[in-house]
Amino acid sequence: MRHDPGPVFRALHRPGDPFILANAWDAGSARMLAGLGAEAIATSSAAQAFTLGRPDGGTLSRDEALAHAEVLVAATPLPVSGDFENGFGEAPEVCAETVRLACEAGLAGLSIEDTVLPGDAPYGFDLAVERIRAAAAAARALPRDMVLVARADGLMTGQYDIEEALRRLKAFAEAGADCLYAPLPANLTDLGRICREVGRPVNALAAGPYTRVSRAEFAALGVARISLGSALARVTHRAIRDAGLAMFGAGDFTPLAHGMAGTEVDALLARGSR
């Protein structure tokens, strides 16, 4: 590994002064985001699945996710965090092994969620906490720093309410998680409660209705980190869809006129690799 990215990545997590964790899906998107000013990169399980022609949600193997993460680690000098879904297994020891492998892949952090993939049902409370406890113990035993993010996804999937999300997030914090994440709470009031009550830096997702929330508004709530998830990848897929409908439906190629100049792309790729 060229360097230890953990301390730099951890220092970015400042409640009330959130950085944007830019989710990329290949070396080129990572370098462009770095060239545009990203301070850290993350994988996206959904975006990676799309590149493989698969749907999101439990369709990636751990080996595939780790190999993909290594590509992003090599693409830029920025710290990279892995979106590792449910840790790629139910047992706490599997989550612990995923943490160790993430370190070997050169990642600065990783997230583990509480969903029994490929469905939406959450792990039971006790098992969900034990999984994070095992992951945190593995992270603390590593030879370098690793930021562990514990996710409570039941708000996003409609499996439990804000009170249960808070109960889980607080327990994850006590179990050793460094950062906490409940994607897409019902409203900003709930997001503010999460930031105030959990006692750890909080990640918010800029997707869906939260794309209308500014960085300043997230900061005022106490958010420490704003991730993109698969939102940016979905923007690119929409561009493909819109251009394809025009071309194959009406023989209209005008959507292609809105592309970036190749020289501008090249310049961003070069800047992002430094």
Has residue 248 been placed in a domain?
no
Has residue 255 been placed in a domain?
no
Checking phi first, is residue 229 left (phi over 0); if not, alpha (psi -120 to 50) or beta?
A: left
Has residue 27 been placed in a domain?
yes
Has residue 243 been placed in a domain?
no
What's the one-letter identity of residue 183? P
What pLDDT does 2 receive?
Answer: 52
CA distances from 229 to 29, 68, 83, 174, 262 (A): 14, 16, 9, 26, 26
Crossing angle of the two packed helices 27-35 and 262-272, in degrees rounded to 10? 80
Strands (E), 35-169: 40-42, 80-83, 109-113, 147-151
- What are 4-48's pLDDT values in tens digits? 899 999 999 999 999 999 999 999 999 999 999 999 999 999 999
Has residue 238 been placed in a domain?
no
Per the structure, how many domains does the chain have? 1
What would the mean pLDDT of 156-174 be, rounded to a whole number?
98
**Cβ neighbour number for residue 208 with a 10 Å cutoff:** 12
Q: What is the CATH number of the domain that holds 99?
A: 3.20.20.60
Which of the four pLDDT bands, split at 50, 70 and 90, describes residue 1? very low
Query: Can you give the length of the chain in residues?
Result: 274
Has residue 51 been placed in a domain?
yes
What would the mean pLDDT of 195-201 be, rounded to a whole number?
98
Has residue 258 been placed in a domain?
no
Nearest Cα to Cα of residue 181 among 132, 130, 108, 116: 132
- Rounded to the nearest integer, the mean pLDDT of the chain is 97
Has residue 172 been placed in a domain?
yes
Residue 74 has pLDDT above 70, yes or no: yes
Residue pair 248/241 in contact (Cβ under 8 Å)? The answer is no
Which of the four pLDDT bands, split at 50, 70 and 90, describes residue 274? confident
Alpha-carbon dihedral 177, 95, 99, 50, rounded to 10 degrees: -100
Residue pair 26/46 in contact (Cβ under 8 Å)? The answer is no
List CB contacts of 18: < 8 A, sequence separation 6 or more. 204, 215, 218, 219, 223, 224, 225, 226
CA distance 82 to 129: 20
Mean pLDDT check: name the lowest of 134-138, 177-181, 257-261.
257-261
Helix (H, G, I), strand (E, B) or coil at 205: strand
Nearest Cα to Cα of residue 123 among 96, 151, 84: 151
- What are 122-154's pLDDT values in tens digits? 999 999 999 999 999 999 999 999 999 999 999
- What are 212-249's pLDDT values in tens digits? 999 999 999 999 999 999 999 999 999 999 999 999 99
Q: 154 lies in which domain range?
A: 6-232
Element (H, E) at 21: strand 19-23
What pLDDT does 10 receive?
Answer: 98
